[in-house]
Each structure stands twice: as C-alpha cells, then as structure tokens.
Amino acid sequence: MLLIAPSFAHGADLLEPFSLSFETGKIEQSDGREDLYLLSVQPTYSAGRISATLGINFYAYRDGKMRDGGNDSLVIESLTYDDEDKFRFHYGELENLTFGSGFIVSNYRSNIRGQVPLNRQKGFEIDLVGPSSYIKAFGTKTNLIGLRAIRNFGLFNVGATAVADSNPDFEEVGIDAEFLLIPDKITLYAEGAKIIDYGAGYAFGAILSPHKYVDAKVEYRGFDEDFVPGIVDEHYELRPAFDRMSYNTGTWGLYTSLDLFKGEFISGTVTYEDYEDIQSRITCSGTANLTSRIRGELFYAEENYLPDQYGLIEQDKLARASMYIKFSKKGEFIIDYYNAFDDKPSGLESFAFKTKFRIF
C-alpha cells in the first residue's frame, strides 16, 4: 500500500492541464467555399519528459452547421517525449523535414491541405543519437514512411536513406557521404539513390560557410527518366512528383540554396533548381521577430518537376504567411494566409483571423 498510494496520487495530477488556452476566429475561403467560424480549446499536459497538447475544435458555417469532410473535433495537436540528446519522439504536424542534402526527402510538410487542423495531417518523428551515430525515422497517416542512419568517422560521414509509400506505390533507397574539407568552412558530399523498379540518380556538391551568418550550397544532379530528385518535398501531400515521371527522358541540372542569419531575429532560406527540359523552381522560407510583440513566418514553393512544355496547370505554387501580434502577456492576434491547389487541380486560398488567449 505504501508503494501504490503515492503512484496513484501522481497519476491523478496528470488529469490537470499544465496550461490551457483557447482560440477563436474566422477563416475566409475563396473559390465558392463557405467561410468557417472556429472555436478551439487547447489543454497542454506535462509530466517529466512527456508533454502533450490536445485540440478540441469546433468549425461551423454561418448557419451554425458543423463542417463535414473529415473534420476531427478532437485532435492530438502534439505529443513529445524528449530525453535530452539521446532519444526524442514527437507526434504532430511535420514541417521542414529534410534527409541529408535533400536528394530524396526535401523540406517535407504534412500539413499543407489547408488551415483546419486534422488528425490525418499528423505524423511522428523518432530521433536516436549516439556518440558517433544518428538514426531518424518518420511516418504519417498517409502511409508515407522514411528512415535515415548516419555514421560519423570524424571528418568523414556516411549515411543511408529509405522512404516508401503505398499511394503512390514506391520504394526508394539511397546512400551518401560527406567530407569536411575545412571544418566549419567547406564540406564536400555525394549521394546516389534508386527508386526500386524505376530509375536512379546521383548528386555531388559543396556546402560553403564563408561567414557565421551565411551557408551556401551548390549541387550537380543527374538522373534517369524514371527518377525524380527530392521526390518527397513540400508539395508531396498535394500532388506527388512521382506522377510526372513520364514527362522525363533523363536529364541533369543544378540545385542551389542560400541560408542567411540562421538563429537570428531575422533568418531565411532560398533555393533554386534548374534542370534540362524542366521548368526552373524557387522556394523560400523565413522567420522574423520584428519586435518583442510582433513576429512573422513565410513559406513559398513552386512545384517541382514540371516540363518546360507543360502548360495545363496554372495553380502550381504553395504559399503560407503568418503574423503573430501579442496584445498582452497571454493573448495574441493571428493573421494567416494560405494559397495552394488541390488534386483537380484548382485553387485553395484562404485568410484566417484568430485570437488566441492563454488562460494559465
């Protein structure tokens, strides 16, 4: 009894939220879609290294009818176990997920089908860190899974990557290596990948860090007609690039990126891709803490792997911009703009105006 009673008392404390906030506002939608009105209550629970946030969400139209179409009223917003630098598990929306140089998984996002938080837009990440090795795995409710392992040999690192999905049905594997030519200044790397039963590709490049606020990458890529570089990218959950391989006859090109002021109050990343017989592509993302009360986030990506002569789709861009304005210690206004396309494709554009207030 002396062992059971304290354990039961501790368990009962878990029912009391560590913090509680609510959110209310309106989502204005274009293209004939009705506007949505929202009310969300978000309790957060914490116990040791475990933290979890629930979302109790109500989305309704002007006439009071609840939104249908797969809306989940109870959403696990996030669930995290963090054992410092050894093991980490996270469940929630996946953002900015890149494996290695991005030749297979490049800035993948699971939450790009609108502004309504749904359980089907969630996924998990697992990180295992050892003295000279690192393993990362992820999976989503859309049946996409990925695994990456890295072994460190001092100035030389070797990595392996694997991803798979059931819709579209494919499996891809890759191996890569990097060499720190001048530590913290110049890194050389090479990567090869193969889509099982389809084509293969390779890449080699250099990462240059001339200043602590600047990182630049230049990469040469070559691939077969049945291969797509960065196949799991920002647009994957909208329209997988795998569907467009039939337009390719084998090609080569360049991938470049520029990271500026990483970790500072204003930071950003710009990438540019240019392949033979394929439309060039730009992506950019950034964050800005303009004042102690105002911060913003921006993300923009053109669709990858569109042939030069491909002119049937006008909607081929994804953009999201958010601004957070604190009006008190516990309250803030949120302005969120979203613009993308669906698989018809047609435009998906909306504005969200929300107020979020933390009760405790």
Q: Where are the domains of the chain?
A: 4-358
Q: What are phi and psi of 114, to 5 degrees?
A: 120, -175
Q: Which fold has domain 4-358?
A: Porin (2.40.160)
Give the model's confidence band at 241: pLDDT under 50 very low, under 70 low, under 90 confident, else very high: confident
Percent of the chain with pLDDT over 70: 88
CB 311 within 8 A of CB 291: no
CB 309 within 8 A of CB 203: no
Enter the pTM of the model: 0.86
Q: What is the pLDDT of residues 151-210, one digit of tens each?
A: 999 999 999 999 999 988 999 999 999 999 999 899 999 999 999 999 999 999 999 999
Q: What are phi and psi of 356, to 5 degrees?
A: -120, 135
Residue 44 is encoded by which pair of tokens? 């957060």
Per the rule left: phi > 0, alpha: psi between -120 and 50, beta: everything else, 15 is alpha
- Please identify which residue in the block is written with the tokens 């304005």: 325
CB 44 within 8 A of CB 358: no
Whole-number Å distance between alpha carbons of 119 and 250: 38
| Amino acid letter, 107 | N
The residue ranking higher by pLDDT, 165 or 18, is 165
Q: Cα torsion at 186, 194, 254, 233 (round to 10°)?
A: -90
Q: What is the pLDDT of residues 77-122, one digit of tens each?
A: 999 999 877 899 999 999 999 999 899 999 999 988 778 777 888 9
Taking the alpha carbons of 183, 162, 171, 198 in that order, is the dihedral positive or negative?
positive
